[in-house]
Amino acid sequence: MTTPQAPTANQMQLDKKIQTRRAHIRKRHRFDYAMTIISYLMTAAVLATLAAILVTLFYNGIQAIKPSLFLESTPAPGSQGGLANAIYGSLVMTSIAVAIAAPVGIMAGTFLAEYARKSKLAEIVRFINDVLLSAPSIIIGLFVYAVVVLSMGHFSAWAGIAALAIIAVPIIVRTTEDMLTLVPDSLREAGAALGAPRWKVITAISYRAAFQGILTGVLLAIARVSGETAPLLFTALNNQFWSTDLNAPMANLPVVIFQFAMSPYEDWRSLAWGGALLITTTVLALNIVARLSAKGKRA
């Protein structure tokens, strides 16, 4: 189309400008591409790690899952046994701890969401609660040791329950408050317009509307508490034998796993893997159920 002719100096300059601009754009896109790939790889690596953890647990733990695991108590090194006493201990301590923590947490969450709302006091409680939520759990164990174990004079399941309850409370407070704030005020106003007193509005309307969400919080608390090890180390301690006495040290899965995994005995390690598989599947299943019920609520 164009007849070949000597480009003017001006045009040459323009061409050069366009070329450098194009190179610059190419460079930017290459960089974007590289970053995209890196971010893909990072995500893949994270997901692969989760898969690797689960695969290792199943691979090592599945051979320990047999009836004796649930029927026999923890053995002495070199003999046969199961984790029955530890499973029982974990179940009992987790359920009592959450049974204590749930009312406390729900009530405190109610105060934040229904009464205090944006007040200064609510802000402080909320803040402290969030700090407690991520506070090191071993500190909670230390605290309960100082308060309960020292005053009782011995380790006990009750001390373990106290530690677990303190860990569960902030989780329940947080979810209860979040879920109650999702309940629209028009519902509360409708209730009030019908002449219901405030407490009745809360219990009959807010709670009912937020029920599934609050339940999610409780489930998450159970999941979190059932895997906690550090706070039990110096509260419930451990017990090699079958014991239902809450005033005595009580076996529990996490501490048994800790002790058995660190031991040099092959059969203890195998039981530790079995226990680890048991705890992880329980905790992950609880989390998934909690998430599903929360999702159903929001949709």
Partner 1 sequence: MTDIAARHSSHRRWRFGDPLFKYLTFFFAMMVLAILSAIVITLTVDAWPALETFGLPFIWTASWNPVTEQFGALVPLVGTIETAVIAIVIGVPFSFGVAFFLTEMCPHWLRQPIAVAVELLAAVPSIIYGIWGLFVLVPLFQHYVEPAMIATLGNIPILGHLFQGPPIGIGVFLAGIILALMILPFITSVMREVFAAVPAVLRESAYGLGATRWEVVWRVVLPYSRVGVVGAIMLGLGRALGETMAVTFVIGNAHRLSLSLLAPGTTISAALANEFTEADGDLYTASLIALGLVLFVLTFVVLAIGKRMLLRTTGKGGIA
Report CA-CA distances (Å) from 254 to 60, 65, 176, 180, 191.
Answer: 17, 16, 28, 33, 46
CA distance 186 to 196: 14
CA distance 214 to 70: 32
Q: Which is nearer to partner 1, 145 or 242 (CB)?
A: 145
Angle at 189 between CA 188 and CA 194, to 5 degrees: 100
Part of the chain binding partner 1 (CB under 8 A), chosen from 3-11, 66-74, 81-89, 137-145 = 137-145
- Fill in the DSSP letter of residue 203: I
Residue of 88, 158, 207, 234 interacting with partner 1 (CB under 8 A): 234
Residue of 64, 98, 140, 218 interacting with partner 1 (CB under 8 A): 140
Q: Can residue 142 be called a binding residue for partner 1 (CB under 8 A)?
A: yes
Number of residues engaging partner 1 in binding (CB under 8 A): 93
Part of the chain binding partner 1 (CB under 8 A), chosen from 72-80, 88-96, 141-149, 186-194 = 141-149
Q: Which is nearer to partner 1, 229 or 240 (CB)?
A: 229
Per-residue contact flags (x/-) with partner 1 for residues 189 to 208, judged by CB under 8 A:
--------xxxx-xx-----
CA distance 40 to 34: 10
Q: Can residue 40 be called a binding residue for partner 1 (CB under 8 A)?
A: yes
- Cα dihedral: 152, 158, 164, 168 (round 10): -110
Binding to partner 1 (CB under 8 A): which residues in 61-100? none
Residue of 81, 82, 217, 254 interacting with partner 1 (CB under 8 A): 254
| Complete DSSP assignment for 75-113 | PPTTS----HHHHHHHHHHHHHHHHHHHHHHHHHHHIII
Part of the chain binding partner 1 (CB under 8 A), chosen from 67-75, 77-85, 86-94, 225-233 = 225-233
Tokens of residue 23, six digits: 């190179």
Binding to partner 1 (CB under 8 A): which residues in 260-289? 261-262, 272-273, 276, 279-280, 283-284, 287-288
